[in-house]
Amino acid sequence: MLLIFGGLPGTGKSTIARLLAARLGAVWLRIDSIEQSLIRAQTVNMHDMGPAGYLVAWAIAVDNIRLGNIVIADSVNPILITRQAWREVATDNAVPFLEIEFICSDLTQHRYRVENREADISGHILPDWQKVITREYDPWLSARLTIDTSVQTAEEAVDTIIYHIVSRNADSPAST
Protein backbone atom coordinates (compact mmCIF):
# COMPACT_ATOMS: atom_id res chain seq x y z
CA MET A 1 0.00 0.00 0.00
CA LEU A 2 1.11 3.54 -0.75
CA LEU A 3 0.06 6.33 1.61
CA ILE A 4 0.35 9.64 -0.24
CA PHE A 5 0.67 12.57 2.17
CA GLY A 6 0.34 16.22 1.27
CA GLY A 7 -0.27 19.57 2.87
CA LEU A 8 1.38 22.89 3.52
CA PRO A 9 4.49 23.06 5.71
CA GLY A 10 3.64 23.12 9.41
CA THR A 11 0.49 21.00 9.19
CA GLY A 12 2.10 18.01 10.92
CA LYS A 13 2.78 15.66 8.00
CA SER A 14 6.24 14.53 9.09
CA THR A 15 5.33 14.16 12.75
CA ILE A 16 2.39 11.95 11.80
CA ALA A 17 4.37 10.05 9.14
CA ARG A 18 7.07 9.24 11.69
CA LEU A 19 4.51 7.90 14.19
CA LEU A 20 2.54 6.02 11.53
CA ALA A 21 5.67 4.40 10.07
CA ALA A 22 6.61 3.14 13.52
CA ARG A 23 3.11 1.76 14.15
CA LEU A 24 2.82 0.05 10.75
CA GLY A 25 6.47 -0.93 10.24
CA ALA A 26 6.24 1.11 7.03
CA VAL A 27 8.91 2.76 4.91
CA TRP A 28 8.84 6.54 5.41
CA LEU A 29 9.96 8.51 2.35
CA ARG A 30 10.46 12.12 3.36
CA ILE A 31 11.05 14.45 0.42
CA ASP A 32 12.74 17.04 2.67
CA SER A 33 15.38 14.47 3.69
CA ILE A 34 15.94 13.36 0.11
CA GLU A 35 16.20 16.92 -1.22
CA GLN A 36 18.55 17.98 1.57
CA SER A 37 20.77 14.99 0.79
CA LEU A 38 20.88 15.98 -2.88
CA ILE A 39 21.87 19.51 -1.86
CA ARG A 40 24.62 18.21 0.46
CA ALA A 41 25.89 15.97 -2.33
CA GLN A 42 26.01 19.06 -4.55
CA THR A 43 23.87 17.24 -7.08
CA VAL A 44 21.49 20.23 -7.20
CA ASN A 45 21.21 23.53 -5.39
CA MET A 46 18.21 24.41 -3.27
CA HIS A 47 16.97 27.02 -5.76
CA ASP A 48 17.11 24.60 -8.67
CA MET A 49 15.70 21.41 -7.13
CA GLY A 50 12.98 20.83 -9.71
CA PRO A 51 11.62 17.29 -9.61
CA ALA A 52 14.87 15.63 -8.44
CA GLY A 53 13.69 14.76 -4.93
CA TYR A 54 10.41 13.37 -6.18
CA LEU A 55 12.13 11.29 -8.88
CA VAL A 56 14.36 9.69 -6.26
CA ALA A 57 11.40 9.11 -3.93
CA TRP A 58 9.29 7.52 -6.67
CA ALA A 59 12.10 5.06 -7.50
CA ILE A 60 12.61 4.14 -3.84
CA ALA A 61 8.84 3.77 -3.40
CA VAL A 62 8.64 1.34 -6.32
CA ASP A 63 11.50 -0.76 -4.93
CA ASN A 64 9.81 -0.99 -1.53
CA ILE A 65 6.32 -1.63 -2.90
CA ARG A 66 7.75 -4.53 -4.90
CA LEU A 67 9.12 -5.92 -1.63
CA GLY A 68 5.61 -5.80 -0.18
CA ASN A 69 6.28 -2.87 2.15
CA ILE A 70 3.79 -0.19 3.05
CA VAL A 71 5.26 3.12 1.88
CA ILE A 72 4.47 6.55 3.32
CA ALA A 73 5.23 9.36 0.87
CA ASP A 74 5.68 12.52 2.97
CA SER A 75 5.84 15.78 1.05
CA VAL A 76 4.00 19.05 0.52
CA ASN A 77 2.87 17.49 -2.75
CA PRO A 78 1.63 20.90 -3.88
CA ILE A 79 0.67 20.36 -7.50
CA LEU A 80 -1.63 18.02 -9.37
CA ILE A 81 1.15 16.51 -11.47
CA THR A 82 3.11 15.22 -8.45
CA ARG A 83 -0.05 13.76 -6.92
CA GLN A 84 -0.88 12.01 -10.19
CA ALA A 85 2.66 10.62 -10.37
CA TRP A 86 2.31 9.15 -6.87
CA ARG A 87 -1.01 7.53 -7.89
CA GLU A 88 0.75 6.07 -10.93
CA VAL A 89 3.46 4.59 -8.72
CA ALA A 90 0.71 2.65 -6.95
CA THR A 91 -1.41 1.72 -9.96
CA ASP A 92 1.59 0.72 -12.09
CA ASN A 93 2.59 -1.66 -9.30
CA ALA A 94 -0.94 -2.91 -8.56
CA VAL A 95 -1.11 -1.74 -4.95
CA PRO A 96 -3.84 0.28 -3.27
CA PHE A 97 -3.14 3.87 -2.33
CA LEU A 98 -4.64 6.36 0.06
CA GLU A 99 -4.26 10.09 -0.46
CA ILE A 100 -4.24 12.11 2.74
CA GLU A 101 -4.24 15.89 2.85
CA PHE A 102 -3.20 17.54 6.10
CA ILE A 103 -4.59 20.94 6.94
CA CYS A 104 -4.51 23.19 9.98
CA SER A 105 -7.75 25.16 9.81
CA ASP A 106 -6.74 27.38 12.73
CA LEU A 107 -4.50 29.91 10.96
CA THR A 108 -3.17 31.33 14.23
CA GLN A 109 -2.07 27.85 15.33
CA HIS A 110 -0.65 27.07 11.87
CA ARG A 111 1.36 30.29 11.82
CA TYR A 112 2.65 29.63 15.34
CA ARG A 113 3.83 26.16 14.28
CA VAL A 114 5.59 27.49 11.19
CA GLU A 115 7.29 30.33 13.05
CA ASN A 116 8.37 28.25 16.06
CA ARG A 117 9.51 24.93 14.68
CA GLU A 118 13.12 23.92 14.31
CA ALA A 119 14.61 21.98 11.45
CA ASP A 120 15.35 18.36 12.33
CA ILE A 121 17.36 17.80 9.14
CA SER A 122 20.88 19.19 9.13
CA GLY A 123 21.13 22.22 6.85
CA HIS A 124 17.43 22.30 6.04
CA ILE A 125 16.04 25.82 5.82
CA LEU A 126 12.41 25.93 6.84
CA PRO A 127 10.05 28.30 5.04
CA ASP A 128 8.74 31.32 6.89
CA TRP A 129 5.02 32.07 7.20
CA GLN A 130 4.98 34.33 4.12
CA LYS A 131 6.47 31.56 1.97
CA VAL A 132 3.96 29.06 3.32
CA ILE A 133 0.89 31.17 2.59
CA THR A 134 2.06 32.33 -0.85
CA ARG A 135 3.29 28.91 -2.00
CA GLU A 136 1.81 27.41 -5.16
CA TYR A 137 -0.65 24.83 -3.90
CA ASP A 138 -3.33 23.29 -6.12
CA PRO A 139 -6.59 22.28 -4.43
CA TRP A 140 -6.91 18.55 -3.80
CA LEU A 141 -9.60 17.20 -6.06
CA SER A 142 -9.25 13.55 -5.17
CA ALA A 143 -8.05 13.43 -1.55
CA ARG A 144 -9.85 10.52 0.08
CA LEU A 145 -9.01 11.59 3.60
CA THR A 146 -8.46 15.06 5.03
CA ILE A 147 -7.00 15.44 8.50
CA ASP A 148 -7.26 18.76 10.34
CA THR A 149 -4.36 18.85 12.78
CA SER A 150 -5.85 21.80 14.63
CA VAL A 151 -8.53 19.45 16.00
CA GLN A 152 -6.65 16.13 16.13
CA THR A 153 -3.42 15.30 17.92
CA ALA A 154 -0.75 13.45 15.96
CA GLU A 155 -1.66 10.23 17.77
CA GLU A 156 -5.36 10.70 16.95
CA ALA A 157 -4.45 11.35 13.31
CA VAL A 158 -2.47 8.09 13.20
CA ASP A 159 -5.46 6.24 14.68
CA THR A 160 -7.76 7.86 12.08
CA ILE A 161 -5.50 6.80 9.21
CA ILE A 162 -5.19 3.23 10.49
CA TYR A 163 -8.97 3.03 11.01
CA HIS A 164 -9.49 4.28 7.45
CA ILE A 165 -7.07 1.69 6.03
CA VAL A 166 -8.62 -1.17 7.99
CA SER A 167 -12.23 -0.21 7.22
CA ARG A 168 -11.40 0.34 3.55
CA ASN A 169 -9.77 -3.08 3.32
CA ALA A 170 -12.77 -4.69 5.03
CA ASP A 171 -15.16 -2.98 2.58
CA SER A 172 -13.18 -3.79 -0.55
CA PRO A 173 -11.48 -7.20 -0.79
CA ALA A 174 -9.96 -6.15 -4.12
CA SER A 175 -7.99 -3.37 -2.42
CA THR A 176 -6.13 -5.65 -0.01
Q: What is the pLDDT along the chain (176 residues), one digit of tens a residue?
A: 999 999 999 999 999 999 999 999 999 999 989 988 888 887 766 566 677 888 999 999 999 999 999 999 999 999 999 999 999 999 999 999 999 999 999 999 999 999 999 888 887 788 899 999 999 999 888 768 999 999 999 999 999 999 999 987 655 444 33
pLDDT of residue 155: 98
Provide the H-helix boundaries in the chain.
13-24, 31-40, 52-66, 80-92, 107-116, 129-134, 154-171
The topology under which CATH files domain 2-175 is: Rossmann fold (3.40.50)
